[in-house]
Amino acid sequence: MKHQKNFIINDIKVAPGETKQINLDVARLHSGTHIDLLVHAYRSAKPGPVILVLGGVHGDEVNGIEIVRRLIANKHFNNLLCGSVIAIPLLNIYGFLNFSRDLPDGKDVNRSFPGNKNGSLASRVAHVLSDEILPWIDFGLDFHTGGSTRYNFPQIRYSPSDEKAIELAKIFAPPYLIPSHPIDKSLRKVAQERGTPFLVYEGGESLRIEDFSIKEGIKGTLRVLHAHKMIKEAPPVAFPTVTLPKKRWIRASKSGMFRWLRQSGDSVVEGETLGIISDPYGYSEAIVTSTQTGILFGHNNASVVNQGDALFHVGYK
Ligand SMILES: [Zn+2]
């Protein structure tokens, strides 16, 4: 059992029963400033699972960072009844500094796993996590938001071929469960290949703090801890969890100014009006209709869109 071992992170030992904060040296900025990754390790003396709670793989997805920050600040991990939590609120510090998903080299950490210690910045950040953290954990919770202006209604993405991930996703019990095969070189894929299941939580949109998505992320995390007897209580499930095994994007047929009339969380039927795209001069309007009956689990908040842009994400059975 992984919990029995002493964690060695950045040559610092964290034994069962100990709680420590560790600064992991990642690299330097062009200004010469050191970039340290702050890792919180909370360990009960009693055996149990080791869980990674991770935010900020994408530096602009602030809800994810805020979920982990609140869990730490509200001391949810301070008196674990068993097991361990490793909490990292912000993995991609470079992206956070630049209000960007990616690193200054334009690369995405979540397409750079397992990484390389001599590689690009993204590859180095991925390597630090793969090398220093993944060996110690049993499973992970990775907190994200929709990319760019796309809003995601609180949901968990998990691998449908991974029994443990399915079990964890049901325990987390977000409004929507989205089974999806992981992308090559993503954290979820590389961890799964090493036998470590990951749930990817998506809630809200980048660069926008949204309390609903943050609270759903926190509640789900507490339910996972509670199911493993690590904490005494967990919030009840307020929404019936809906699994959406199939999904498709409804895209812009024209470029122009976009107003949505239906939004994430709404049930829609094929042919229904979802939004309007207008030219800026008052000549024409195009109706965006649903090509699918299902549930909107994501939508685009962009005010101006281009032909082909993804506007609504519909999930269905
Ligand atoms: Zn993300």
Residues 270 and 212 in one domain: no
Q: Of 199, 227, 255, which residue sits at a domain end?
A: 227
Residues 140 and 100 in one domain: yes
149 C-alpha vs ligand 1 centroid, how far in Å? 12
168 C-alpha vs ligand 1 centroid, how far in Å? 20
Residues 6+ apart with CB under 8 A from 67: 55, 143, 201, 203, 214, 217, 218, 221
Q: Are the C-beta atoms of 111 and 186 separated by less than 8 Å? A: yes
4 C-alpha vs ligand 1 centroid, how far in Å? 32
Residue 308 counted as domain residue: yes
Residues 6+ apart with CB under 8 A from 7: 13, 14, 41, 43, 84, 86, 136
Cα 247 to chain centroid distance, Å, stands at 18
Residues 207 and 274 in one domain: no
Where are any strands of DSSP class E within 50-193? 50-55, 84-88, 139-146, 150-158, 176-179
Residues 39 and 188 in one domain: yes
Residues 152 and 99 in one domain: yes
Q: Are the C-beta atoms of 218 and 55 separated by less than 8 Å? A: no
154 C-alpha vs ligand 1 centroid, how far in Å? 13
286 C-alpha vs ligand 1 centroid, how far in Å? 31
Residue 236 counted as domain residue: no
271 C-alpha vs ligand 1 centroid, how far in Å? 31
Task: Give pLDDT, residue 241.
Answer: 96
45 C-alpha vs ligand 1 centroid, how far in Å? 33
The pTM assigned to this predicted structure is 0.97
203 C-alpha vs ligand 1 centroid, how far in Å? 10
147 C-alpha vs ligand 1 centroid, how far in Å? 6
109 C-alpha vs ligand 1 centroid, how far in Å? 10
Token duo for residue 229:
């007897």
31 C-alpha vs ligand 1 centroid, how far in Å? 27
Tell me which residue of 247, 227, 251, 248 sits closest to 237, measured CA to CA: 227
**In a structure prediction context, what are the per-residue pLDDT tens digits for the chain, which is 317 residues long?**
788 899 999 999 999 999 999 999 887 788 888 888 999 999 999 999 999 999 999 999 999 999 999 999 999 999 999 999 999 999 999 999 999 999 888 899 999 999 999 999 999 999 999 999 999 999 999 999 999 999 999 999 999 999 999 999 999 999 999 999 999 999 999 999 999 999 999 999 999 999 999 999 999 999 999 999 999 999 999 889 999 999 999 999 999 999 999 999 999 999 999 999 999 999 999 999 999 999 999 999 999 999 999 999 999 99
Q: How far apart are the first and last CA of the chain?
A: 38
104 C-alpha vs ligand 1 centroid, how far in Å? 16
Say how far apart CA 15 and CA 100 lie, in whole Å: 36
The total number of structural domains that make up the chain: 2
Residue 258 counted as domain residue: yes
144 C-alpha vs ligand 1 centroid, how far in Å? 4
Residues 124 and 253 in one domain: no
Residue 237 counted as domain residue: no
317 C-alpha vs ligand 1 centroid, how far in Å? 25
Residue 239 counted as domain residue: no
Give me the torsion for CA of 55, 59, 64, 70, rounded to 10°.
Answer: 80
Residue 81 counted as domain residue: yes
189 C-alpha vs ligand 1 centroid, how far in Å? 14
Structural domain containing residue 285: 244-316
Residues 80 and 115 in one domain: yes
pLDDT in tens, 85-123: 999 999 999 999 999 999 888 899 999 999 999 999 999
Q: Name residue, tokens 């990616």.
A: 102
40 C-alpha vs ligand 1 centroid, how far in Å? 21
Residues 207 and 120 in one domain: yes
CATH code: domain of residue 162: 3.40.630.10
CATH code: domain of residue 287: 2.40.50.100
235 C-alpha vs ligand 1 centroid, how far in Å? 25
